[in-house]
Amino acid sequence: MSDALKIGFSAPAAPVKGVLVLFCESGLKLGAAAKKALAPAGDLLTRAAAADRFTGKSGSAIDIVAPAGLKVSRLIVIGTGKSDSKPEDIVKLGGQAIGRVPSSATDITVLAEWADGSMKPDQAADIALGMTLRAYSFKRYKTKLKEGEEEAKTRKVTIGVSDPEKTRRAWMAREAIAGGVVMARDLVNEPANILYPEEFARRAATLKKVGVGIEILDERAMTKLGMRALLGVGQGSDHDSRMVIMRWNGGKKGEAPVAFIGKGVCFDTGGISIKPAGSMEDMKGDMGGAACVVGLMHALASRKAKVNVIGVIGIVENMPDGKAQRPGDIVTSMSGQTIEIINTDAEGRLVLADVLWYTAKRFKPKFMIDLATLTGAIIVSLGHEYAGLFSNDDKLAERLSKAGQATGEKVWRMPLGPEYDKQIDSKFADVKNTGGRMGGAITAAQFLQRFVDKTPWAHLDVAGTAMGSPQTDINKSWGSGYGVRLLNELVAEYCEG
C-alpha cells in the first residue's frame, strides 16, 4: 500500500493548517460548519466558483491554493449534486475527495456534512472507506521515484462529524472491509515469481491473526482425495499445487456454513496449448478469484461477522514442461467424473471442479459461490463493467444482483441450460473441458455445474473485473479487489443472524 491514511474523527471545526476539504451541493449550498470555516475568507468561494463555473454539480471540484483569510494551505470543495446519495455514491465521494488532495499533503481535514446538516455516522464512515480505497497503490518494487514523487508517508485525515463516537464504531466495520480489499489487490498485483502456490498458501495462512482457522493440503493429500483434475493443471510446474481451507466460525455452533471458492492460477501460460506472447504478463492475475476469497475472509473475521463461513482456494501454476498434461489426456476428478482435456488453457474449470466437489461434500454449505477469472468470452459479452453471474438458484442470484447494485460491484446474470451441455459432451469421457468458441463463458459454467451436485450455487466470472478493469473514483490499481465488498454485502444483508 502506498501513502497510508491514518483516519480519525472529531467534532467539525476549522483547521489551522493543512488541507481543508468541504462538500457543496448544487447551487453552492454549504453546511453550517463549512460556512463557519469559510467566514474569515469572505466571499472567496463565491468569486472563485464564478471564475471557474463551479456550481456544486456532482463530480466537480474547485481547488484554491493558499486561500486568503484562512490558515490552511489549500481549500478543496467537492460538488455532491444532491444530498440524498446512495451509500455507493458516498464511498465514491470519499474517493473523489482524497483524489483531489496532493500526495505531499500530510494533514487533511474533511468536514462531513450536507447543506442541511452533518452526515450520519454511516455516511461519514463511507467517506473514510472511499478515501482509503482510493489512496491504495502498489509500489513495492519501485526503487526510484519519478520527478515530483515523494517517499510514502502516513497522511493524517481528520473527518469532522457531529457524532464522532458513533462514526468511529461505524468505521471499524468498513476498515475491516477496506483491509480485505487491500489484501486482495496486493495478491493480484504481485508477480508470479514472488507469489507462486506455496507462497500464496503461506500468505493466506496469515489470516490466523484475525481468528481464521487454516488448513493447507499439499499434493500428497490431494492425491489421496482423488483430485486429479486440479493436480493435472499443475503437474508441469516446478511449484507444487496447494489447496487452502479457511474457516470463520462467527455464527451458531453446528449451523451450516456458507462457502466461497476461488480459482488461484498463480500464472497461466496456457500449458501445452500455450497462449500468445502479447499481454501474457497479465496472467499473473489469473488468481483474482482466490485473492477475493482471502480478502473476504479477512474482512468477515476482522469485523466479527455473525456467520459461519468456509473459504476454499485451489492454487496452481499452469506451465508447459515435459510433465505437463496434453490435449487428449483424460483425467478422473474427485467426483469420479472423467474429463477429456481438449485445451490445456481451459484449466481454471479443472481446478474448480475438484474444489467445488470437495467443498460441497465435506462442508454441506447452505450455498456456495465460486469466483474465477475464467474466460475471455465474458469480457466479450460484458466488457469490464459487470461480472458474469451464473446460478442454479434464483434466490441466490437475485441477492447477488442486489448486493452488486448496493456496492457498485455489479453482476449480470447469464443463462444456463441443458442445450449448452451438448457442447461439452465428450466422445471418450464423461465431459470435455471446453465446448469451443461459441458461448464460451456459458459452457464453462455448464462444466462447473456438473460438480456442485444439488448445492445452491453461483459462479462469478470475474475475468473482466478482477484485474485490468477501468480506473474509478475508488480504485487506481491494476488489481481491483473486486468481489470483497460485493460478497461482504451479501453476507451482511442475508446471512448474519
Question: What sections of 136-267 are H helices per DSSP?
Answer: 164-189, 197-205, 219-225, 228-234
CA distances 167 to 7, 93, 170, Å, are: 11, 17, 5
DSSP state of 423: G
Q: Is 200 exposed, middle or buried (0-12, 13-18, 19+ CB in 10 A)?
A: buried
Closest CA to 69 of 39, 95, 110: 39
Contact 254, 324 (CB under 8 A): no
Q: Pairing mode, if any, of strands 154-160 and 258-268?
A: unpaired
Sign of CA dihedral 185, 299, 445, 219: positive
Distance of alpha carbon 323 from alpha carbon 239, whole angstroms:
12
What is the Cα 162 distance to its own chain's centre? Answer: 31
Q: Pairing mode, if any, of strands 431-432 and 338-340?
A: parallel
Residue reference for cell 481446478: 351
DSSP 223-235: HHHT-HHHHHHHT
Helix (H) or strand (E) holding 248: strand 242-249
Contact 389, 414 (CB under 8 A): yes
Gyration radius (Cα) of the chain, Å: 24
Distance of alpha carbon 199 from alpha carbon 284, whole angstroms:
14
Q: Which residues are catalytic?
A: 275, 349
CA distances 48 to 93, 105, 240, 244, Å, are: 21, 22, 62, 57
The C-alpha angle 359, 272, 228, rounded to 5 degrees, equals 25
Sign of CA dihedral 1, 491, 487, 216: positive
What count of other Cβ atoms lies within 10 Å of the Cβ of residue 454?
A: 7
Distance of alpha carbon 58 from alpha carbon 104, whole angstroms:
26
Distance of alpha carbon 217 from alpha carbon 245, whole angstroms:
8
> What is the rounded (10 degree) CA torsion for 327, 391, 365, 247?
70
CA distances 51 to 31, 93, 174, Å, are: 22, 24, 38
Contact 9, 161 (CB under 8 A): yes
Distance of alpha carbon 34 from alpha carbon 24, whole angstroms:
9
